Amino acid sequence: MANVEWVIAGLGWNNCNCAWGCPCQFNALPTHGDCRALCCWQIEQGHHGKVRLDGLHIALTASWPGPIHMGNGTAQIIIDERASPDQRASLEAIATGQDTDPGGSLFQIFGSTLTSLLETLYRPIEFDCSLARHSARLRIPGLVESSGGPIRNPMTGEDHHATVSLPGGFEYREAAFMSGSSHTENSVALDLQETHGHLARFHWSTHGYVD
């Protein structure tokens, strides 16, 4: 059966357990040997077939016992409770890597490394972010509290703004590298304090990243 054609574009926040900069972004091994991460994507414009997805959110909590590419990961998808039944089905299809060419999206790539996908949850997602300010704040009541801001110079305390370009990246083409903290309850366990974060625009489709 042919894939349902979809496209989503917007802003995404990611906070993981690596040191600032995250060696995984450069095809190196994770700082502590394992990977634990929180992601949230704000869809500014998008559709899955004829179903519009504008203004909705997807979040993800995940962990891997080693580098992501070694597999055995566990993840939970959290979908914006404001979504209609059709929108929920579409968002879950995208977030679980369905209707996507192999290697075509972060969701499909991450999904191929999981051995445990927990029950999808539908919750209110409060998300505010700014690329200009290098700031992000996420709250999913009873599940997630996360925030991110500029990396700070350890000697002066001044903001250190870093922007990284990955021209062939499957997640983003350019990202603001930040410092983030996240805590979860009743989901994949995370307790991250001043670790790597990045905020970036995304534009994904059935067939891969859209330039």
Domain residue limits at 109: 6-209
Q: Is 114 among the domain residues?
A: yes
Q: How confident is the model at residue 142 (pLDDT cuts 50, 70, 90)?
A: very high
Q: Is 159 among the domain residues?
A: yes
Share of residues in the chain with pLDDT > 70 (%): 100
Query: How many Cβ atoms are within 10 Å of 178's Cβ, its own excluded?
Result: 24
Q: Is 111 among the domain residues?
A: yes
Q: Is 29 among the domain residues?
A: yes
Total-model pTM? 0.95
Q: Is the pLDDT of residue 1 over 70?
A: no
Give the model confidence (pLDDT) of 90-138 as tens digits: 999 999 999 999 988 899 999 999 999 999 999 999 999 999 999 999 9
Q: Which two tokens stand for residue 73?
A: 């990961």
Q: Which residues contact 15 (CB under 8 A, 6 or more apart)?
A: 37, 38, 39, 146, 148, 180, 181, 182, 192, 195, 196, 197
Number of folded domains that form the chain? 1
Q: Is the pLDDT of residue 2 over 90?
A: no
Q: Is 1 among the domain residues?
A: no
Q: Is 45 among the domain residues?
A: yes
SS3 41: strand
Share of residues in the chain with pLDDT > 90 (%): 95
SS3 55: coil
Mean pLDDT of the chain: 96
Give the model confidence (pLDDT) of 59-87 as tens digits: 999 999 999 999 999 999 999 999 999 99
